[in-house]
Structure 1
Amino acid sequence: MDKEEELLNLPRPRWPLHEVAVLGGDEDDLTIAGGYLEVAEIAARHWIERGPNDGLPIPILYNYRHSIELSLKWLIRLTARCLVRGGYTKENLSSDALNKKLHTHNIKKLTDRLNRYMDLLGLPEPNNRIDDASQNLLTWLDSEDETGETYRYATVGHGLNSTPARPHQVNLNFYEQVNELHKLAHLLYGGYSGYLDSFEENQIEYFADLRHEEQEPW
């Protein structure tokens, strides 16, 4: 290997075992959301610590946004399972039907669906919907990137309808913006997921106890 080729290589891990990555298997949207969140945070901290690099903000925003999108989808799947387990039948929430409903990158649609399902679960107020501060930030995020293309490409749309994603230069306080997204992504990934996961565990335990009582001889 010549020196030029060696310079292009990533540094090799200290131990051979660390060269191995495990993909697939027991994997869901929340698992991948956590990965995007960690990548976003690493890049954001690099931007903060090493000084401004205008090539990083858009990829950083994309990674935070995609983590948020995947967390919302995971939360929707969980609340849908709970609704089905609780006997809700007014909407087709089978796996196939839900996959079609979640075939979108639109943050507003996902947020509205999650709020609706949380309310249908009968959760006590104000825990029956996303908190107001997070809701406002999700609304802003949707207005900035409605289709999931704005933070991915320099051009959005197709053919004659394509337009520059950022037609005008804008100077903004990126730290304040990304810090708010950072907190929101963590809240969805670790906060709402923990709360609703506990709800599901309690629901499963409740129905298990109910079946046990029904089978008990008198």
Structure 2
Amino acid sequence: MGDLLSSLPDGGGWRDIAYVGYFDGDAGLAEGFAEAAEAIFKQWQSSPRTGDQLLLPLVHNYRHALELALKQAIRDAAKRVRFDGHNDPSLHPDELDVHLKRKQRHRLGPLADQLAGLLKELALEGLPADTMRLLARLHQLDPTGEAFRYADHLESSAHAVDVPELTKLLRDAFAIVHGGVITALHVYADYQSDMREMYADYADASNSASF
């Protein structure tokens, strides 16, 4: 892939250039997949009568955006739990990455449950019930991450799909995980740092007063 992505000539100037890896890890890549899904939705809106072939790519992009956002939120939450002094080996970054890649893989339901458990450990607000239900339903439809990639992998009795409503549900769920939970964890990280610094200052003051 490196040869392909690095060997193409630059013929169009800076407007035609994108840098490989120039994004904020899984959180940034998740946003890219969500934006791609929205671009597909806009294309569908321009030709809804002939855009049935766009439905599965739209859902697949949002589904993968949600998967990446959940995994990033899990990593962030685990880091905050470790900061609080919990020494569970499974929360070590290396062990956690192995768990996410080899066990959880593309399973949205278990990923959502794992995140919910970590948020509970931190006494932070969990995912709303309707978001958990949506993620569980997506997991039922696509437990391996392949159902929306191939024409014959999705079993459904539905003959028609309300595309704007489905897109709204996916968009809202992504906003909660990516814009809500991940942001809340960043705020909580600042709170933890402030508390640690405050207690360190208090300990220093107490030690000075004792002499």
* Common topology (TM > 0.5): yes
Q: How far off is 1:169 after superposition?
A: 7.4
Could you say which residue in structure 1 is the equivalent of 2:81?
A: 83
The separation in 2 between residues aligned to 1:131 and 1:111, in whole angstroms, is 11
C-alpha RMSD of the superposition:
2.1
- Which segments of 5 or more consecutive residues in structure 2 lack a partner in the other structure? 1-10
SS in 2 for 1:73: helix
SS in 1 for 2:139: helix
Q: Which has the higher mean CA deviation after the structures are superposed, 93-102 or 21-30?
A: 21-30
The alpha-carbon distance between structure 1 residues 18 and 215, as it changes in their structure 2 partners (threshold 3 A), is farther
Q: TM-score, normalised by structure 1?
A: 0.81
Q: TM-score, normalised by structure 2?
A: 0.83
Aligned residues: 193
Post-superposition Cα deviations, 1:152-183, rounded to whole Å, max 9, x if no partner, equal 2235xxxxxxxx43487732223222221121
AA aligned to 2:80 is: C
AA aligned to 1:63 is: N
The answer to which structure has the higher helix fraction is: 2
Aligned-residue sequence identity (percent) comes to 26
Q: How far off is 1:205 after superposition?
A: 2.0
Residues 84, 93 of structure 1: 8 Å contact kept:
yes
The separation in 2 between residues aligned to 1:75 and 1:40, in whole angstroms, is 20
AA aligned to 2:116 is: N
Could you say which residue in structure 2 is the equivalent of 1:187?
A: 176
Q: How far off is 1:79 after superposition?
A: 0.5
The alpha-carbon distance between structure 1 residues 73 and 18, as it changes in their structure 2 partners (threshold 3 A), is same
- Which segments of 5 or more consecutive residues in structure 1 lack a partner in the other structure? 1-11, 156-163
AA aligned to 1:40 is: A
Residues 37, 67 of structure 1: 8 Å contact kept:
yes
Q: How far off is 1:80 after superposition?
A: 0.1
Could you say which residue in structure 2 is the equivalent of 1:67?
A: 65
Q: How far off is 1:26 after superposition?
A: 6.0
